[in-house]
Structure 1
């Protein structure tokens, strides 16, 4: 392949974050004259092109830019981009996802953002159902750049490319050696970080070998180490009663509490004694409905952010078999260890008879909500193993044709072990022994040992992928040759989730889950064409047909236009259809129990509370998969301009509109409660058999609420992307300014499943815009980088409102705009490497607290939870 000045110009543009790579390319072409130029492949099209800017907006961010912003991992880097509006996930202690990190472009959901590595689909995390990618598995040190396609692309890449595409481009043709090390220390306790990487590369006329090793660690953050999460128990209003949830933080009613058959709660008689004798118990508390509970402070021991330790290796090789044939291979191996801690298991004994040894109420049908402190704290250790291999051939034939054949295999093996959970079998055995001739003594060492068990889960996803495609020129229009691409690919996916037998049988307290397994294969063919109708007008189209072995087939087209009325102005637009196939987890998931926090407006109304005063509480939920799910269907429209007519200035403005029908979503407990409040719960229960919410006469929930996945919701996103950049050369150094802003003009979603839809822009955790400003200054051997991340104000409160038989949320009491500054300085020595000193969250921007001084735990405010973090690093290259 020709190493032309255009290629070098593009690389320079990427390395320095230029606003318009097309401008550099244009100058290079002019300098080269009639020499043939090299085309490059840009995310969103398989047809190679000369210009980086095309019909679909693509934001290109190099590793150097992420490092200048102080980002420590691929997940950190992507979760900071403005188009990742809301809804991404970071490691959280104790959850089944505690080792996972995801991205959600336009806030449309992690399953609707496709992640590629070197243009090929990244295997989905088995812990996330096999669809969404776990960004924690990608070694930062192996990344050359990341391309973010802000357009629908199912016609090119198939399922999941609904809200956009993330394409992680790994290092290739690396020559030399480098060593990096960095340490970070927040001022607040916890979240210390370390990272180290090594990179080697050898090149010759025949090819290249590249090797990268990356190591990263971050310590956990415990609830007790932050003022807004540590235990709080106080009689704020001085009425002599501390009300659970109203006047407590970090305290659960699952201590020693009973509820009768009507749901009325009563604290155990020995609650005050437990407070004196057992660490964690806080005594008898009142409730908003007039009962009492025996509280337990999980905040004394629990971690809310999990620790992580990642070790990754990437090696790649290219070898020119002939002048026209190249062999390439890649292997990427990673291990991610994560630790999380929960308080001792909280488990309910349901429907106890009157003579049960633990039943203090003396009547049938009593539920006992206990904290089994005898077992000890629950510790969860997660180990994620990931293997990813690629081998392929690239070649040329004829005058214009290029082809590629590749085989891609990924095997993900995620293992989760939870220690010190409650064994229901051990508890039953203890009760059976109470009246033996040699009775076991409650509270003895033998009694406690019988209660403990270890839960174990293996989540596995195995992907085999075969890809083939050929590009060629055939036909000619006024603007040049017509470019074509024809390809096909085959996917074979097998997903397995295996729980230990006791958990699967429902005999473990404080945990739940069921094993499931499934497999599918997908065959796809696709075609793309680019027609240069005029010198300044290119029309493109693509069509892809996917056939799934489980749910059927789907065809998706796209149409694009690029028009350059002048050299410095690009006018572009696109229209594309997209789809998301139901994940194997959504199709085949076995019933599993969870305890989501919800707002029960019906119960509040029955107890005389206004909707605005209704507080969230935990409810027991049994979730189910649905083998009859169909695909989601989407329409994405994009229109924009790129202008580079001012020297060293770049301007990009794009409008986007995304609409998704037949959205696959879980009919949540909150959906059912909202529908119940709206008086249409019966309609949902009759339309979807097996979905059920039952109440006692007093409004309390009776037993488990059953839910499942269904098609039927609606979602839309409309907005603007604005990208401004400016480079200024002065006698005292060079300045580079860049500001990227994503405006969400509309974010419609259903108020409840199948109910009316509402624009949620500005709602809690749904900012109307996100912006990032970066200022880079360099002179001689010094570079200073300042990055500001800005999240728009969001509502603090949302209340379900009924007005003229219409149901919608009313948003109020907005939190302020959230601004975080990051600063670092680099000093480049002559032959002795580069030194870095920086501060993340320079002005120690804290978390967002509500009016009750409670933490608003949203991922968009994650920097405040870590706090101000000072870091230092060193790099040396040879």
Structure 2
């Protein structure tokens, strides 16, 4: 089909120049013929406030239509966003051990989820009140509606001059359907071929239109079955030891006594028979009483989600329309992980005395070591000891997260003198999160059990159900965040130039944000074994005003300038300018470039949050070397093995009220070609931020101990017991990359129509500096970042039949601890790398009538992945921000329209 209008060609440029998948859609004509080309309706494109006739702008925009997402078999918006080649990492519900196992987010351009702005119809969304990792605020993409979406526009460049803070890695703008008429019912059932992870989604859409307006409601319900570690052979079925990772080991936290001081020996050790009789696992390779966690771990949690979205618009007068939206979402997620593993109680043997000590000054001394604590230390030499114990009697540690999300917007829009478009709106969002956990005990409760009576109790013996109940504790957390916003905008003709009309946009907005998160009192004090609490409360408000001017200085050359000023109540003001250039030497060719100042106010939890107590597992590189061990390698000495593989420590992350805003720039230069059959684009981009807010992870501090020794607390023998990390403005982060897209279509008449599209992103550089005196970190070398991703999608259309074959490739990359292993170990570089992976998806659909359609698909056809990280000693030994363990999946979907 020949597309004649200027706008239609511009839209085609946009879909190909920015999108990997839009070429699958059938051609769309947005204006009937060339005669109406100069009268087409102006539209607003993500990345600009100006309504214009050309959809393609100087900043690259990826467009994913609802049709594109359905054709590629994506279950939800998170899946679609993760497929983008510009996505360098994602937080998903796989993070069952984390602070936010019920939420999802993505990171564009390696900027982080908290530096990726998410909008619906150009309006900011409320932030999730529980910060990722206990530190970073983000927008939860799991609660965004799938069925109500018309398309997703992803600005792959910074947008602070247009949208304000957070728009550094990019902007995700979800455009909803506005004029749905009728009713539709859709049901989808999917399952994995290896078992576990079954999912169902039912969606109902209803809308009604009149000559004055439209009201549409979209309701969907999804249910996801748990995916357990035992559902996947790669995780051993009946073993905690992942066979594909040489660093995978059974947990040494079964039941044993370790000597905390040199020369301490003679404490009781369980035999293999006693170990297995107690419900533990005898690790013959290391001759210790360990534990097999596999049957008690989830790879993905059980969850359900209900989402409702209602859009309305009504024409009050010829030039004024009242419009708005009401959203409600409710979700529940249930996680399961293995029982608590503790080493929290110190035992000191001195002569005939045995003294038990715990956190908070707890202490009790027994005067006969032959009977104290079940006689475990009857033959022990003087020294310091501690129990290493998996408290399996308490059952799994469970977490139930309940989320409720509300959003309301109402406003007016209209035109003045047919030349100016204006809009104004009030917006309100709120998110509530309640978390209830089980399988925990208080430090004092377990201390009371160990020291009960005249002689106390041995932790090498199982606890009774009555004792478990006495020591048990149920932690909980409640969090809430709200956002109130007022905004207004006007756009239209500024003045006339010989080459065309200069267009402008001007607007202002005011926003109030607040959040509070509060744990139970014992968790906040750090009095619960193996878990901590996160609390904080804060409020900020900010106002902004902006202006944008687009000037066609020549027939082929357009220059766009924008300026925005934001004033925050807690971090002050910031001015963000932007300059973009569009040059069209040919009708089919667009050469574009942009440079923009960007900034970001620090996360509210990093400013107002209370210290967050937590627990983690690290390798103590310094102590491991001092004891003659090798990081990641098994050792017959239990203490050395623990220090070199599975040292459980306390961590604290803290806020900093003196944090400053991050500031920097983004830039891109590229070209777009849009022909009748061949479409292609190439863009070179870069972003840099100074004074980035972050903290040093416990694993990094333990690995690079020379730099971060001041954060580390060690015991008398030099072993790490605690890492304290406080948010701070560090030095800088800079990322540079290249985007390439190409699309080609074949119309073979009676045989059908083929559309092939390629999209790729190559990271040329990603580096940063934690402080001005530190060594510059190369993220690609250090590990955990795929250097390139590429998608190849083939669509076939024949009358009422359509099929799509997609290949999604992730490059080989260095393992997450590559630097430490490659520089301190032996072997080839490839021994510390994560292999590349290509997933193939095949979907097909058939329209039986105009109102009935059936689709089916096979996702991950060849059951690829996850690819294991040979440097990751922590379960599940693969990068969960890049891969998942679902394996091959199938689905069938039916839709009926009324």
TM above 0.5, yes or no, is yes
Deviation at 1:63, TM superposition (A): 1.2
- Match in the other structure for 1:242: none
1:669 to 684, 691, 698: 698
Are the counterparts in 1 of residues 339 and 397 from structure 2 also a CA contact under 8 Å?
Answer: yes
- Match in the other structure for 1:172: 178
Structural RMSD (CA): 3.5
Deviation at 1:473, TM superposition (A): 1.9
Distance 2:452 2:781 in 1: 58
2:437 to 414, 418, 437: 418
Distance 1:754 1:838, change over 3 A: farther
Distance 1:505 1:561, change over 3 A: same
- Match in the other structure for 1:277: 277
Distance 1:27 1:753 in 2: 56
- Match in the other structure for 1:638: 668
* Secondary structure at the counterpart of residue 249 of structure 1: coil
Q: Which has the higher contact order (CA 8 A, sep 6+)?
A: 2
Distance 2:871 2:492 in 1: 64
- Match in the other structure for 1:53: 56
Distance 1:486 1:832, change over 3 A: closer
1:535-684 matches, within 5 Å, as 535-609=555-629, 615=645, 617-645=647-675, 647-676=676-705, 679-681=706-708
Distance 1:418 1:483 in 2: 56
- Match in the other structure for 1:738: 757
- Match in the other structure for 2:199: 193
Deviation at 1:58, TM superposition (A): 0.2
2:116 to 99, 113, 116: 113
Deviation at 1:554, TM superposition (A): 1.5
Distance 1:264 1:793 in 2: 46
- Match in the other structure for 2:367: none
1:124-523 matches, within 5 Å, as 124-128=127-131, 131-230=137-236, 232=239, 249-253=249-253, 255-261=255-261, 269-270=269-270, 272=272, 274-282=274-282, 286=286, 294-353=289-348, 354-356=354-356, 358=373, 360=377, 366-430=385-449, 434-435=453-454, 443-523=463-543
Deviations 1:125-177 (A, max 9, x none): 11226731110010211111100101110111111101111111111111111
Are the counterparts in 1 of residues 486 and 511 from structure 2 also a CA contact under 8 Å?
Answer: yes
Distance 1:754 1:314, change over 3 A: farther
2:842 to 823, 842, 845: 823
Deviation at 1:629, TM superposition (A): 1.0
Distance 1:122 1:754 in 2: 38
Residues matched between the structures, number: 845
Deviation at 1:372, TM superposition (A): 1.8
TM-score normalised per structure 1: 0.89
Distance 1:681 1:861, change over 3 A: closer
Are the counterparts in 1 of residues 264 and 385 from structure 2 also a CA contact under 8 Å?
Answer: no
Deviation at 1:78, TM superposition (A): 0.4
Deviation at 1:559, TM superposition (A): 0.7
- Bigger drift between 595-604 and 546-555 goes to 595-604
Distance 2:663 2:263 in 1: 43
- Bigger drift between 8-17 and 867-876 goes to 8-17
Deviations 1:751-770 (A, max 9, x none): 88962123333654311110
Distance 2:76 2:657 in 1: 37
* Secondary structure at the counterpart of residue 275 of structure 2: helix
Deviation at 1:260, TM superposition (A): 1.5
- Match in the other structure for 1:836: 855
1:29-40 matches, within 5 Å, as 30-32=34-36, 34=38, 36-40=39-43
- Match in the other structure for 2:879: 858
- Match in the other structure for 2:66: 63
Deviations 1:233-257 (A, max 9, x none): 7999xxxxxxxx9675352426444
Deviation at 1:671, TM superposition (A): 3.6
- Match in the other structure for 1:240: none
Distance 1:765 1:517 in 2: 33
Distance 2:805 2:822 in 1: 48
Matching of residue 788 in structure 1 with residue 788 in structure 2: no
Distance 1:498 1:271 in 2: 45
Distance 1:508 1:531 in 2: 62
Are the counterparts in 1 of residues 5 and 34 from structure 2 also a CA contact under 8 Å?
Answer: no
Distance 1:408 1:9, change over 3 A: farther
Distance 1:625 1:265 in 2: 42
Deviations 1:267-309 (A, max 9, x none): 86336455222334435774xxxxx854222222121321221
Distance 1:191 1:442, change over 3 A: closer
Are the counterparts in 1 of residues 607 and 659 from structure 2 also a CA contact under 8 Å?
Answer: yes
- Bigger drift between 650-659 and 506-515 goes to 506-515
Distance 2:849 2:29 in 1: 32
Deviations 1:612-662 (A, max 9, x none): 9665644322221111111111211100101113x2221111110111211
Deviation at 1:849, TM superposition (A): 3.2
1:726 to 721, 724, 744: 744
Distance 1:78 1:185, change over 3 A: same
Distance 1:754 1:583, change over 3 A: farther
- Match in the other structure for 1:241: none
Deviations 1:819-876 (A, max 9, x none): 110001111102561111210011111321356998542136535x111111111011
Distance 1:594 1:512 in 2: 4
Deviation at 1:796, TM superposition (A): 3.9
* Secondary structure at the counterpart of residue 77 of structure 1: helix
Deviation at 1:364, TM superposition (A): 6.7
Gaps of 5+ in 1: 237-244, 287-291, 686-691
Deviations 1:710-756 (A, max 9, x none): 11132111111111111211120011111111111111134889621
Deviation at 1:60, TM superposition (A): 0.4
Are the counterparts in 2 of residues 123 and 131 from structure 1 also a CA contact under 8 Å?
Answer: no
Distance 1:264 1:777 in 2: 72
